[in-house]
Amino acid sequence: MTSGGNTTLMVGNLERTQDGRIRGSQGVCGAWWIVPVLALAMSHFLAPLASAGTWYVDQNNSQCNNSGPGTEQEPFCAIGAGAALAVAGDTVVVAAGTYAEQVTAANSGTTGAPITFIAAPSATVTITGGTYGFKVSGREWITVKDFIVSDTSSSGVYVASSSNVTFSNNQVRNTGDRGIYVKQSSGVTVSDNKVEDTSSYGIYVYFSSEITVSGNHVTGAGQPVSGAIRKGIYFNNAVDSQIANNVVDYNTDSGIYLTNGCTNVQVVSNLTTHNARGYARAAPGIEVRGSSGNTIEANISHENEDTGIQLYPGASNNLVVNNLTYGNGDHGIDNLDAPGQRIIGNTVYDNVTAGINVEGSSSGALLANNISVDNGLNSSPRTKGNIRVDSNSISQTTVDYNLVFQSQPGNVMFQWGDDLYASLGDFTAATGMGTHGLEADPQWQNPGSGDFHLLPSSPAVDSANSGASGALDRDGDFGPRIDEPQTPNTGVGLRAYDDRGAYELNADEVPPVVAITDPDVGVTVSGTVNVAATASDDNAIAGVQFKLDGANLGGEDTAAPYEVSWDTAAVANGPYELTAVARDTANNTTVSDPVNVTVDNASLPTTLTFSPSDDAYIRAGSPGSNYGDNGKLWVDNSPSVYEFLLKFSVSGVGSRQVESAKLWLYNVNSSDKGGDFYEVTDNNWSEQTVTWNTAPSAEANPIASLESVSSNTWVIVDLAPLIAGDGTYSLRARTTSANSAGYFAKETPEFTPQLVIELSN
C-alpha cells in the first residue's frame, strides 16, 4: 500500500517497496539488500496493493485475509488489521457486518491527512463485544464515521491523551460503561451521533480542552434506581469547549452537567427534556456546579424531573441567556450557593416552584429582561412566585426589566427575603427593585404547543435593557434584534428595541420561497453540472445553500443568481437528490422540493478536441499593426521578428486526469526550427485587436519546443505540462532561427490548429 513514505507489503522475509523493488529484511551486518525487479518470476507471489491510501475490510468476502493486501478484491477480515497499518491520509473502509472486536488506532494522522475509519456507503457496520468499540490513545488526527458500537464491556468509545479526533454520525448503545469517554485530550469533536442505553454517562469529557459535542442525541443513560443514575452529557474540568445542538432526553440524572472547574464552555441551542431519576425529584435539564465563566445560551429545557437550568454550589460568574425553560418539576432556573450569576433574557413558564430562584449564598445576581409567567402556582409548592430571591442572596442582587404575570389571581408574584408580593407594584414599592418591570400577559404565539415567540401586540416588544451585562445582539433563535416599527421603543441601552424574553419578535416570520431550476427532475447528468435555483422573500434572501443527498454542495451562495458547479465525476454513478435551502435575513429557512437525478459518467468522452478561440501573429517591425484576420501564423527571428499567439477555452475535463494534451499545427514553410512555445497567463487579449505593443508577456521558460519542421505536414506540440483541467489557456510562440516557420490559422478550417486532450475516465 502507498500512503506516504515507502509503505510495503511483506511476503515472508521479503517485501516490495513503493518503487516496485524487492528487498530482504535487515541482515546481521545491518545493511539492506536489494533485489532488482528483474526477478519477475517472483511477481506472481505478490498480491496487488490497496490503492490511493485505502484499506478495505469485509469479513463476508470469501477472499478476506488479515495477512493479505487489504484491497477491495482481497480485503481484511477484521477492522483491526486495517487499523494496524493505516497511516496519515489513509482510509479504512468497512463493509456491512457485525465485527466482534475492539478497534484500536495504532498510528496518527496529520493536519489535512487524518486516518479515517468509515463504513462503506449504505452499509450497516456493527462493532460489538470488545472492551471498547473504538480506542484512541495517544494519537492525533483520527476520524471515525458511520458505525454502530454496541454491547461493549466498558465504554463504547474511549479517547485518551489524544488530539484532533472526530467521532461523527455513529450509534453507540448498550455499553457496559460510558457511551463516549474523552479523557485528557484536546481538539476532539463528537458530532451527530446517537448515544443510547448506556450503563454510565452518555458522553463523558474529563480534564480536556477545545472539545466540541454537537448535534448528538443522548438518551437512556443509566438506570432509574439508586446507585445507577447517570447524566446524559457530563463535562468534568473541561475548558474552552462547546456543547451545542444536542437532544438530551430520558436520562436518569442531569441532561447536561458541568462540574469541577469547567471554564469557557458554551452550552448552546440544546434540547433537554424528560430527564428523571424516577424515584427522587433530582434530575435537572442542565446543571452547572463548581465551575465559572461559562455560557448557557438559547437552550430549551422542559418537562425535566427537577429544574430546567440550575447553577449549584461553587458555580460563579456564569451567564444564562436567551433560554426557554418550562413545565419542569422544580424551578425554571435555580441559583443555589452560586454568586455573581447573570440571568438575562430567558423565558420561564409553568414550572412547579418559583420560576427564577436565587437562594443560599448567591449574592450579586443580575436578573434582567426575563419573562417569567405562571410559576409556583397555588399553595403546594415549596417556593412560590415568578421570581424569588432569599434573604442570603439579596446583597448586591439586581432585579429589573423583567416581565411577570400570573394568569390565576391571588398567586405570589415575587418573594424577596421572607416577604411575598402578589404584584409587581407591591414588590417595587417595598424593595425599590423592578422599577422598569412589566406585569402583563406576554402574548405568546401558542404556549400550549411550545411556541413562545411573541405576538406583535406583546408588551415585551422593544422594551428591554440591551445594556444589561450579558445581553446579546441576537435572540434564542440566533436571529438579529429587530426594531418593530409599529411599537414605541421603551427599552434602553445601545439598542432601545430589544425584546424581553428568549425570542425577538421577528418582523419577518414569513419563510422564503425556493425552487431548483436546473437540472430538471429525472435527468441523467455527467461531467460538470450547473445547479441553479431561484429564491424570493418578502424581506431579503441572505443566501442559498445547495445540498447533495443532504450534505452541503459547496458553500452558501449569498448573491443571485444562486448556483453552484457540481463535478459529478467526484461521486459514484447512481441516483442522487438535490435540494436548495434558502435563508432570509431573519434566519427563516425553506427547503426546496427535491430534484432527483442520475449520475452516469460512463458516456463521458475520453478525447476532447478544441479549436482556438483566438489566434494572431504579431510583428516587431510593425508594433502597432494587427494581423488577426490573416490566415497564417508566423515565427521568425531575422531580419524581421514574428511571433504568434493562440488561445483555447477548455471544458469538459472536470476532475478527470489529463493523460495527454497535444497541439496540432499544419506547417506551410520548412525551417530548421519550428518554434518555442511559452505559457501566457494573461488571457485578456483578442485576435481582432492584439499588436506587438499590446500582446501579453510570456513566461520565462518555454513549455515545449519544435525543432526542424517540413512544409505541408502536421506537427505536434506537447502541451501536457500546461493543460491541467477546465479553463482558458494562452500560448505565445517565438523562434531563435532566421528561417521562418509558418502555420495555418483558424481562418483555414481544413487546417485549423487543434488542441487534442486525452483523459482518464
Q: How far is residue 387's CA from residue 268's CA, in Å, rounded to a whole number?
A: 24
The dihedral sign for the CA sequence 556, 559, 562, 566? negative
- Using omega within 30 degrees of 0 as the cis cutoff, is the peptide bond preceding 519 cis? yes
Report the CATH number that the domain containing residue 698 is assigned in CATH: 2.60.120
- Across 467-487, average pLDDT: 93
Q: Looking at 580, 599, 618, which one is the last position of a domain?
A: 599
Q: What is the mean pLDDT of the chain?
A: 91
SS3 of 391, please? helix
Residue 321 lies in a domain: yes
Beta bridge partners of 350: none
CB 245 within 8 A of CB 269: yes
The verdict on 568 and 611 lying in the same domain is no
Residue 227 lies in a domain: yes
* Grid cell locating 760: 482518464
Nearest to 500 by CA among 553, 443, 551: 443
CB 331 within 8 A of CB 323: no
The verdict on 26 and 130 lying in the same domain is no
Query: Does residue 568 surpass a pLDDT of 50?
Result: yes
Q: Looking at 401, 423, 449, which one is the last position of a domain?
A: 449
SS (H, E, C) 641-704: CEEEEEEEEECCCCCCCEEEEEEEEEECCCECCCEEEEEECCCCCCCCCCCCCCCCCCCCCCCE
Residue 280 lies in a domain: yes
The verdict on 591 and 617 lying in the same domain is no
CB 66 within 8 A of CB 77: yes
The verdict on 560 and 628 lying in the same domain is no
- Using omega within 30 degrees of 0 as the cis cutoff, is the peptide bond preceding 561 cis? yes
Query: Does residue 607 surpass a pLDDT of 80?
Result: yes
The verdict on 23 and 158 lying in the same domain is no
Residue 612 lies in a domain: yes
Residue 200 structural domain: 124-449
pTM equals 0.65
Residue 111 lies in a domain: no
Q: Looking at 396, 421, 449, which one is the last position of a domain?
A: 449
CB 513 within 8 A of CB 589: no
Q: How far is residue 144's CA from residue 544's CA, in Å, rounded to a whole number?
A: 30
The verdict on 294 and 184 lying in the same domain is yes
The verdict on 592 and 621 lying in the same domain is no
Provide the pLDDT confidence category of residue 507 given band limits of 50, 70 and 90.
low
The verdict on 214 and 343 lying in the same domain is yes
Q: How far is residue 392's CA from residue 412's CA, in Å, rounded to a whole number?
A: 20
pLDDT in tens, 529-549: 999 999 998 778 999 999 999
Provide the pLDDT confidence category of residue 228 given band limits of 50, 70 and 90.
confident
Cα diameter, the chain: 111
pLDDT in tens, 624-682: 999 999 999 999 999 999 999 999 999 988 878 899 999 999 999 999 999 999 999 99
The verdict on 673 and 621 lying in the same domain is yes
Report which residue type is found at 49.
L
Report which residue type is found at 104.
T
The verdict on 627 and 611 lying in the same domain is yes
Radius of gyration of the chain (CA): 35
Report how many domains make up the chain. 4
- Across 423-432, average pLDDT: 98
- pLDDT recorded at residue 9: 32
Residue 174 lies in a domain: yes
Residue 133 lies in a domain: yes
The dihedral sign for the CA sequence 27, 33, 38, 40? positive
* Grid cell locating 741: 516557420
Report the CATH number that the domain containing residue 355 is assigned in CATH: 2.160.20.10
Beta bridge partners of 523: none
SS (H, E, C) 613-626: CEEEEEECCCCCCC
pLDDT in tens, 265-318: 999 999 999 999 988 889 999 999 999 999 999 999 999 999 999 999 999 999
Nearest to 470 by CA among 567, 380, 367: 367
Q: How far is residue 319's CA from residue 266's CA, in Å, rounded to a whole number?
A: 10
- What DSSP line would sit under 154-216, residue for residue? S-SEEEES-EEEEEES-EEES-SS-SEEEES-BS-EEES-EEES-SS-SEEEES-BS-EEES-
- Rounding to the nearest 10 degrees, give the CA dihedral for residues 58, 61, 63, 67: 20
Report the CATH number that the domain containing residue 529 is assigned in CATH: 2.60.40.10
pLDDT in tens, 158-176: 999 999 999 999 999 999 9
The verdict on 590 and 614 lying in the same domain is no
Q: How far is residue 108's CA from residue 519's CA, in Å, rounded to a whole number?
A: 42
- Across 723-743, average pLDDT: 96
Residue 744 lies in a domain: yes
The verdict on 668 and 535 lying in the same domain is no
